[in-house]
Amino acid sequence: MPDFSPPPPGSALSAQLAEARKRMAELDLPRPLAARLHRQFIAVCNAVKAAGADEASGQRRLAAFLAALDRAAAKVHGYGYRSDNP
């Protein structure tokens, strides 16, 4: 069994996860999109807490989630940058 030692409470990754949660909560997204993003965020959090998880993989997962969050925000009128391309 791998040795599990969670990161310290004040780690950079935990602060970034808290900031991502805050950003997601501030958006007024359509329910299906908000639900999908919430499930993706929960998956990131679960992966970070899993036995044997390392911070680098958590950072990669979080970066992928933030990119998805930014794309979703850009599609909603009034948030982010709207793309003129269909």
- The confidence score (pLDDT) of residue 63 equals 95
Q: What is the mean pLDDT of residues 72-81?
A: 67
Q: Which residues of 11-23 are buried (b: 16+ CB within 10 A; e: fewer)?
A: eebbeebeebeee
pLDDT at 12 over 90: no
Q: Element (H or E) spanning 48, and its range?
A: helix 31-49
Task: Confirm whether 37 is domain-assigned.
Answer: yes
- Residue whose pair of structure tokens reads 């998956």 in the numeric block: 43
40 domain residue, yes or no: yes
56 in a structural domain: yes
pTM of the predicted model as reported, rounded to 2 decimal places: 0.73
Mean pLDDT of 57-63: 93
Residue 61: domain span: 33-81
The answer to whether residue 47 is domain-embedded is yes
Q: What is the domain count for the chain?
A: 1
Is residue 82 over pLDDT 90?
Answer: no
| Position 4 in a domain | no
Does residue 46 sit within a domain?
yes
